[in-house]
Amino acid sequence: MPVSIPDYTAPALLRNRHLLTIFPSLFRKIQPAQYTRTRIPTADNDFIDLDFSKTGSRKLVIILHGLEGNSKRQYVTGMVHIFNEGGYDTVSMNFRGCSGESNNALRFYHSGETGDLQTVVDYVQKDYESLHIVGFSLGGNVTLKYIGEQGASIPASIRSAVAISVPVDLKDSSFELEKRHNFIYMKRFIRSLGEKLQVKARQYPEKISLNGFSSIRNFRQFDDRYTAPIHGFRDAEEYWAKNSSKQFLPRIAIPTLLINALDDPFLGKGSYPYAEAEANPNFHLETPATGGHVGFVTFSGKHYWSERRAFQFIHDHS
Catalytic sites, residue numbers: 137, 264, 293
**Residue 257's beta-bridge partner residues?**
162, 284
**Cα(11)–Cα(20) distance, integer angstroms:** 9
Rg from Cα positions in the chain: 18
CB atoms within 10 A of CB 169: 24
* 51-271-239-42 Cα dihedral, nearest 10 degrees: 20
First and final CA of the chain: distance in angstroms?
21
How many angstroms separate the CA atoms of 133 and 160, rounded? Answer: 7
